[in-house]
Homo-oligomer: A and B are copies of this chain.
Amino acid sequence: MKAIAAGLLAALALAAAPALAKPVLTPEAQAGVLRDDALQSNAAYQWVSDITTRFGARPAGSAKERAAGEWAAARLKAMGFDTAVVESFPYHAWVRGANDSIEITGPFPQKLAGVALGGSTAGEVEAEAVIFDSWQAFVDSTADVTGKIVVILQPMARSTAGEGYGATSGPIRWAGPMAAQKRGAVGFVMRSLSTDDHRFPHAGATNWSDGKGIPAMAISSPDAEQLGRISAMQRKGEAGPVKIHMTSGAVFPPVGTSVNVVAEIKGSEHPEQVVVIGGHLDSWDLGTGAIDDAAGHAIAIAAAKSILDHGLRPKRTIRVVLWGSEEMSQPEGFGSGGFNYARAHAAEAPNMVAAMEADFGADKVITATLPATADAAYGKTMNRLLTPLGIAIKREPSTEGDSDTDVLYNLGVPCLTLNQDGYDYFNTHHTPDDVLDRIHPENLNQVVAAWSATLWMIAGSDVTFTRPEPAKAEK
């Protein structure tokens, strides 16, 4: 940071942090004002632009992640947050090789667009491919895959709620490489978890292999279609067996650290009562993590910032958390930023009024899943506040948290989710194409509008939610 820039930041800090005043409107009226003003603000988009331009990719446990976290904490202080600190935790990183490759070496030699799965093992193998067009076909098959490369071409279903990701990521990406290895395979290749047909492979974590697994890669949708065509020719006797050569230089550096960023606006009446909101700080290494998840944590920041910008002080404390290392699977004893945050702050869980995370891109909110409450007025108020934004409130109250808040839910913290439209999310999720250009500012503004109103109706009111039964302690 140059001297002139530091000066600018100090000036901004003064401008953005007027002495916070008591609200004069009813909570609902104030929430409506915050909502409407947020539609014009572009604050989240500006944050995403800043962090992705300054740091690019922010891989879990990397120096970039830490630098971005430190910058974010300074920026949040300058914005007017009362506190903003970086909390470190031990972390076991995984780093992609610099010159990974995958190619067909027979019958029709050509390069494929593919990337190693996070947590997978390095290696160079060349072997015959055994191609399955679905995960079920692989599971049901008795084919001998010993010494071969297992290839799963199953495509992913596209929907607004992203059910296709849940249905395919678990068995194929998480369990696939280990299952193939167990059956004697020397390599694993899957069609990317993608709803698009452009030639980007999608990264993503598999179960932590600790360097004892087999090379495992995801190829782009067009490359999967290509293998499907060759496989069809093979079945018709028009082509010989498919051979694949793959090289992964993945390394598991010594244990280091990762970070969470925690910033607060202290509550005026109940400072001990905390509303936790956030998104994650880290990203995959291929893009700049604009939609996953700079957008998510920027939404939470912009919602809190809208309260600061209106010169308001909430009754309860608003705590914004930028969780580190959400993207990677971890070995025993380590864990994501969400896990480490919950572990470090478990004692405060009974005072956490609610938790809310954004980790589903930058498109508009379409439905809201609210926590259960005995307060009959709450649902009606939320209906009046959110339906003008085109948001439908779900009948069923929430029964889980999101990627980093689910651990809190299991500690008894009520969670809520403003569900964004995920129809296009998996087009570019975890690809080199996850960059600022994917974001439409007007969509992001709608999300921040919904978040601002929702946040104020918790932090600026006395609503209480039914607390979930704490689950058995997570490992």
Q: Does residue A306 face the partner (Cβ distance < 8 Å to B)? A: no
From A233, which residue of chain B is reached at the shortest CB distance?
A: B53
Q: Does residue A113 face the partner (Cβ distance < 8 Å to B)? A: yes
B-side contacts of A8, CB under 8 Å = 238
CB distance from A51 to the nearest CB of B (A): 10
CB distance from A249 to the nearest CB of B (A): 12
The residues in A between 40 and 68 inclusive whose CB is less than 8 angstroms from any CB of B are: 49, 52-57
**A225 pairs with B436, CB closer than 8 A:** yes
**A229 pairs with B49, CB closer than 8 A:** yes
Q: What separation, in Å, do the CA atoms of A432 and B114 have in the docked complex? A: 12
CB distance from A37 to the nearest CB of B (A): 26
Q: Does residue A433 face the partner (Cβ distance < 8 Å to B)? A: yes
B-side contacts of A198, CB under 8 Å = 198, 433, 437
CB distance from A434 to the nearest CB of B (A): 9
Chain A, residues 179-205, CB within 8 Å of chain B (1/0): the string is: 000000000000000000111100000
The residues in A between 1 and 30 inclusive whose CB is less than 8 angstroms from any CB of B are: 2, 4-5, 8
- Known: A56-B109, A108-B54. Is A2-B238 also a contact (CB below 8 A)? yes
B-side contacts of A4, CB under 8 Å = 237-238
**A53 pairs with B2, CB closer than 8 A:** no
The residues in A between 78 and 136 inclusive whose CB is less than 8 angstroms from any CB of B are: 98-99, 104, 108-111, 113
Chain A, residues 237-253, CB within 8 Å of chain B (1/0): the string is: 11110000000000000
**B240 pairs with A2, CB closer than 8 A:** yes
**B287 pairs with A199, CB closer than 8 A:** yes
Q: How large is the interface on A (under 10, 10 to 19, 20 to 34, 35 or more residues)?
A: 35 or more
**B56 pairs with A111, CB closer than 8 A:** yes
Q: Does residue A154 face the partner (Cβ distance < 8 Å to B)? A: no
Q: What separation, in Å, do the CA atoms of A222 and B288 have in the docked complex? A: 10
From A5, which residue of chain B is reached at the shortest CB distance?
A: B238
Q: Does residue A226 face the partner (Cβ distance < 8 Å to B)? A: yes
Q: What separation, in Å, do the CA atoms of A200 and B98 have in the docked complex? A: 19
From A229, which residue of chain B is reached at the shortest CB distance?
A: B53
Q: What separation, in Å, do the CA atoms of A110 and B437 have in the docked complex? A: 17
Q: What separation, in Å, do the CA atoms of A229 and B435 have in the docked complex? A: 13
Q: Does residue A420 face the partner (Cβ distance < 8 Å to B)? A: no
CB distance from A69 to the nearest CB of B (A): 15
Q: What separation, in Å, do the CA atoms of A104 and B54 have in the docked complex? A: 11
CB distance from A414 to the nearest CB of B (A): 39
B-side contacts of A108, CB under 8 Å = 53-56
Q: Does residue A230 face the partner (Cβ distance < 8 Å to B)? A: yes
**A5 pairs with B110, CB closer than 8 A:** no
B-side contacts of A454, CB under 8 Å = none
A-B contact pairs, 16 of them (CB 8 A): A2-B238, A2-B239, A4-B237, A4-B238, A52-B226, A55-B110, A56-B109, A57-B111, A99-B99, A198-B198, A198-B437, A199-B431, A199-B437, A222-B435, A226-B288, A226-B436
Partner-B contacts on A (CB < 8 A): 2, 4-5, 8, 49, 52-57, 98-99, 104, 108-111, 113, 197-200, 221-222, 225-226, 229-230, 233, 237-240, 287-288, 431-433, 435-437
**Contacts A53-B108, A53-B230, A198-B437 supplied; 11 other A-B pairs, CB < 8 Å:** A5-B237, A49-B229, A53-B229, A54-B108, A57-B111, A99-B99, A197-B437, A198-B433, A221-B437, A226-B435, A226-B436
